[in-house]
Structure 1
Amino acid sequence: MAKQTDRRINRTKRMIRDALSGLMEEKTFEEITVTDISQKADINRGTFYLHYQDKYDLLEQSESEIIKDIRNISKQSLQSVKILNGSIIDKPLPFVVNIFEYFKENAVFMKAILGPKGTGSFPIKFKSVLSENLKRIKKTIRADTLVPEEYLISYIVGAHVSVLQRWLASGMKETPHEMALILSKMTGMGPAYAAGLRKNERGI
């Protein structure tokens, strides 16, 4: 019975989150009311307040759940460090594929909070997670950077977030694997190589 209750609660919370996501495609977060969310989710206001104090609590809990999941996925990155020096232009890092798959599975909400009508708080949290992950990778590799580390990390993180936003906004035409490979080429070989302005170490 407990499992059935948990599933019902999770399903209701997902409906509420999806309702918020749908509304954020139409109006800004500040313009959205609990009544709007309840009507969109086809529930009464009482049901909403069983799970959230207000719309701000809904947004905070939803973002926290997403960040927690992304942190767990990012932990896999250290297992992928071994292949960083391999053929990165031919095979994407597994954890990057998993990130894109997760974004696709949660596309409605991700598109809303990363889109133009989002609050702006999630991109900051997301970039923080990516920065922490890159710093962990850097410590594991122990390689000397050619530019100040803080600028390098900022550059890579900004590029990753922008690519994810573009992919979501354009309808996710490419598969997660294809996107991870595109990102691996741009990150591993640099923009000049990706733009066809420079050959890689294999002369290709």
Structure 2
Amino acid sequence: MEETNDRRINRTRVALKRAFIELILDKGYDAITIMDIAQRADYNRGTFYKHYTDKDDLLMAIREEILDGLSEALLSPYEGLKRVDAKQIYPSTLKVLQHIEHHKDSFIALLSVKKDFFYDIFQRLRNAMTQDMHIVIEEMDDKMDYDIMLSYRMSAFVGVVMYWVETGFKYSATYIAEQVLIQVNQSLDYIEFR
């Protein structure tokens, strides 16, 4: 009985989230009412309020779900492993990008409402990399600050994601993952001036 209730709750929440995302994309966040969300999801206002206090609460639930999925995608390909060669980061990069691609409407909607959502992505990925893994860098003459290096790499990755979103997801997650891997493993030779 409890499992049936859990499935019903999940189904209702998914329908409310989907309706909300569609409405944000159709008419913008500010124009949306609770009644709009409930009607689009084919529920009544009372059902909405059983699950969320207001549309901000629903927006934050969608945001957290997306960000939690990013953290999970980053780490899941390496479950049970102690280490992986840096040139073998393709699986996690691809999973993160597939998560974004799968939820692209949610990403676009969140970005239209919360302009600093890219910073949320940056923070979540950097925190996951700080808490759950450590990048080992070959010895160099110059002392590299780990936190600066990690921030630099995460900023570059989020910049690629920003570009991907701005271009309307014109490339596949696979193509973007391949390009990220090329960038990570490529060093610059020199810069020419025109």
TM-score where L is the length of structure 1: 0.74
Separation in structure 1 between the aligned mates of residue 31 and residue 95 of structure 2, nearest angstrom = 34
Separation in structure 1 between the aligned mates of residue 174 and residue 65 of structure 2, nearest angstrom = 24
Q: Report the CA distance between 1:138 and its aligned residue.
A: 7.3
Residue aligning to 2:65? 65
Asked if 1:125 corresponds to 2:120, the answer is yes
Matches within 5 A, 1:7-18: 7-18=7-18
Query: CA distance change for structure 1 residues 143 and 29 in 2, over 3 Å: closer, same or farther?
Result: farther
Any stretches of 5+ residues in structure 1 without a counterpart?
199-204
Separation in structure 2 between the aligned mates of residue 124 and residue 56 of structure 1, nearest angstrom = 19
Aligned residues: 188
**In the alignment, residue 16 of structure 2 is paired with which amino acid?**
I
Secondary structure of 1:139's match? coil
Separation in structure 1 between the aligned mates of residue 25 and residue 60 of structure 2, nearest angstrom = 18
Q: Report the CA distance between 1:143 and its aligned residue.
A: 4.5
Cα deviation code 1:133-175 (max 9, x no counterpart)? 3435873515568654444333322222232233344343433
Residue aligning to 1:201? none
Residue aligning to 1:83? 85
Aligned identity (percent) is 24
Residue aligning to 1:22? 22
Any stretches of 5+ residues in structure 2 without a counterpart?
none
Matches within 5 A, 1:98-177: 98-113=95-110, 115=111, 117-135=112-130, 139-141=134-136, 143=138, 148-177=145-174
**In the alignment, residue 183 of structure 2 is paired with which amino acid?**
M
Q: With a CA cutoff of 8 Å and minimum separation of 6, indicate the structure with the bigger relative contact order.
A: 1
Q: Report the CA distance between 1:99 and its aligned residue.
A: 0.8
Separation in structure 2 between the aligned mates of residue 101 and residue 72 of structure 1, nearest angstrom = 12
| Contact 2:118–2:162 (CA under 8 A) maintained in structure 1 | no
TM-score where L is the length of structure 2: 0.77
Q: Report the CA distance between 1:183 and its aligned residue.
A: 1.1
